[in-house]
A and B are shown apart, each in its own frame.
Chain A
């Protein structure tokens, strides 16, 4: 904790002031924030307990992945995308693959698309489970974290069977997926989904309807829709601020700019209010766009992802084509920008092919969703108490690996 001395005020020695003056204080939070979001340092300018400014300091996990991307071929870059958002490696692989495929004009077979959707949605579930558990940690409860990791462990086991890795998969690759699903995997995946479905009620009992949890998250870090759009917030962060009753669209790239055949799947985009489609009424005290709404969007997205997974499992046995096609050896000249809906928001990859038809791209740019989501912190933390800062930053559900790249 660091204090900044207030400037010495020149006073007449005879004048005695009895007024109580409050000093502004700089409080340093981090760089090791006690949660799994990564290494983030916040410098809070406070007036007593009230925050007047939050300055996030980034870059502790910076590896200049974009520079690496200019020196390796697209397939060699896939493992680096895993290490961006390490909680949703599959979704990162998918985003980069789609960008390169857009540049090359490749069309991926149906079977590869079905596996991609299935795997990406499983990873979304795993990522939201961690988001839920880590958010509990931020608020000072440990047990939801253990339950979340128990279920996530099963997803990791499924992934391990598919690709041999548990965190950095490099499974989805350019032209499809690296391997076909192993025999018996579909049944085991279905078994897991049937196991997971009743567990969701437990999480709701632990957190969503918990009186203390609601008190900590309701009306905290309220993000109006206009502010969210101005700061480029996406994903659950933006959707928690939308209102279907006001005519806001279901803002989810899987619906509005479908890729991998998402348009053929039956699922809902989670946008408040939650009472008609999901039967959840927002507790008293919560307002649209607060931390509770963001949390709830993630919880309900798990339910929707399970639905997509089940449909993909039904389709898999009949899906046509191979699981992978050979990508071209050289990148064509030109540039392509592709955004995908990752668990934390819209992750964009911008790939520029060199005019000389090289094997390596001229430029790789990753538009990070958490980067934009975090940039709004100062706006939504202003005026709140120090104790609410972890609750707000936790509700953004950032992963620093993706922000710092």
Chain B
């Protein structure tokens, strides 16, 4: 199935719940609201025409231009994206689903934005979501055990945020 067919199927099923689509991108994708993510993913996985049974990758992307002079020309508003790369073992097609989030929940710095966990659909999401939480700072609601995976348990901050401040000291080890 081509990406256009997949998007057409999704639009037929979900209508306006598909927030936007991009067919011109190198890897065509749709954007859904965080609240609709589980329904869309369940449909993508369980519909026999789509059958996306493999979740390849979950990535968190931080869109933020730190330099205030460049920010108006950056071409994006500050936000976070969670990108799901899916593929199908049976049909051999690929697809991308995105969720757009504010950088902080309710615009309160320090409050992580929330996305529902897809671990119940794809067990591989368990570790991927822990990694995205660890490095990008996104909270996956409904995850069985959302703890840091690569960094130490007592680490402060999420390094893949653009405004991450490098620690000057960690347990007596000097940074910088």
Residue of A nearest to B124 (CB): A232
Is A365 touching B57 in the complex (CB atoms < 8 A)? yes
- B143 to chain A minimum Cβ distance, whole angstroms, is 14
Q: Which chain B residues in 143-173 approach chain A with CB under 8 Å?
A: 149-152, 159-160
Question: Taking the complex as formed, is B135 at the interface, i.e. its CB lies under 8 A from any CB of chain A?
Answer: yes
Report the minimal beta-carbon distance from A276 to chain B, rounded to whole angstroms.
23
- Chain B residue numbers with a CB within 8 Å of A66 are 135, 160
For chain B, the bracket of interface size reads 35 or more
Bound state CA distance, A337 and B97, in angstroms?
13
| Nearest neighbor of A257 in chain B, beta-carbon distance | B92
Contact indicator A62/B151 (Cβ below 8 Å): yes
B123: chain A residues within 8 A (beta carbon): 230-231, 375
Judging by beta carbons under 8 Å apart, are B56 and A339 in contact? yes
A337, B75: Cβ atoms closer than 8 Å? no
Knowing A362-B61, A362-B63, A375-B127 touch, does A64 contact B26 (C-beta < 8 A)? Answer: no
Check A232 against B76 for contact (C-beta < 8 Å). no
User: How many Å lie between the Cα of A231 and that of B150 in the bound state?
Assistant: 18
Q: Which of A360-381 contact B (CB under 8 A)?
A: 362-363, 365, 367, 371-372, 375
B10 CB within 8 Å of chain A: no
Q: How far is the CA of A230 from the CA of B120 in the complex (A)?
A: 10
CA distance A353 to B19 in the complex (A): 23
- For residue B4, CB closer than 8 A to chain A, the reply is no
A331 and B92 alpha carbons, distance in the complex (Å): 29
5 intermolecular pairs with C-beta atoms under 8 Å apart: A230-B122, A335-B27, A355-B74, A356-B70, A363-B62
Asked if B96 lies at the interface with its beta carbon under 8 angstroms from chain A, I say yes
A306 CB to closest chain B CB (Å) equals 27
User: Would B150 and A346 count as touching, CB distance under 8 A?
Assistant: no
- Most chain A CB within 10 A, of B27, B53, B59, B70, is at B59
Residue in A closest to B24 when the chains form the complex, CB atoms: A334
A356 interface neighbour in B57, B74, B126, B151, Cβ under 8 Å: B74
Set of chain A residues within 8 Å of B73, measured between Cβ atoms: 356
A372 in complex: contacting residue of B59, B124, B135, CB < 8 Å: B124
Residues in B whose Cβ lies below 8 Å from that of A89: none
* Residue contact A336 to B160, C-beta cutoff 8 Å: no
Q: List 10 additional contacts besides A59-B150, A365-B61; criterion CB under 8 Å.
A: A70-B160, A103-B26, A232-B54, A333-B75, A348-B85, A350-B57, A355-B75, A356-B74, A356-B75, A372-B124
Cβ-defined contact, B126 with A348, below 8 A: no
Query: With an 8 A cutoff between CB atoms, is A92 at the interface?
Result: no
Indicate with 1 or 0, residue by residue over A70-106, a CB within 8 angstroms of chain B CB atoms: 1000000000000000000000000000000011000
A251 CB within 8 Å of chain B: yes
Q: Kindly state whether residue B40 has any CB partner on chain A within 8 Å.
A: no
The listed residue (A62, A352, A355, A367) touching B150 by CB distance below 8 A is A62
Instruction: Give the residue of A64, A231, A346 whose beta carbon is less than 8 angstroms from that of B124.
Output: A231
Considering the complex of A and B, which 3 residue pairs feature the smallest CB-CB distances, nearest first?
Answer: A355-B75, A232-B124, A367-B57
Q: Are A367 and B85 in contact (CB under 8 A)?
A: yes
User: Are A59 and B27 in contact (CB-based, < 8 A)?
Assistant: no
CB-based contact B61/A363 at 8 Å: yes
Q: Which of B89, B92, B126, B151 has the most CB of A within 10 A?
A: B89
Residues from 199 to 254 in A contacting B, C-beta threshold 8 Å:
229-232, 249, 251
| Residue with the greatest number of chain A CB neighbours at <10 A, chosen from B55, B56, B57, B149 | B57
Q: Are B83 and A334 in contact, CB atoms less than 8 angstroms apart?
A: no
The answer to whether B1 has its CB under 8 Å from any CB of chain A is no
A405 CA to B25 CA, complexed, in Å: 28
Chain A residues in 8 Å Cβ range of B55: 232
Q: How far is the CA of A405 from the CA of B73 in the complex (A)?
A: 32
| B92 / chain A contacts, CB cutoff of 8 Å | 249, 256-257
- CB neighbours (8 Å) of A355 from chain B are 74-76
Per-residue A-contact encoding for B67-104, CB less than 8 Å = 1, 0 else = 00010011110000001010001001000100000000
Task: Specify which chain A residues have a CB less than 8 angstroms from the CB of B89 in the assembled complex.
Answer: 229, 249, 251
For A227, the closest partner residue in chain B by CB is B123
| Interface assignment of A290: CB less than 8 Å from any CB of chain B | no
Q: Contact check: which of B27, B83, B124, B149 meets A230 at CB < 8 Å?
A: B124
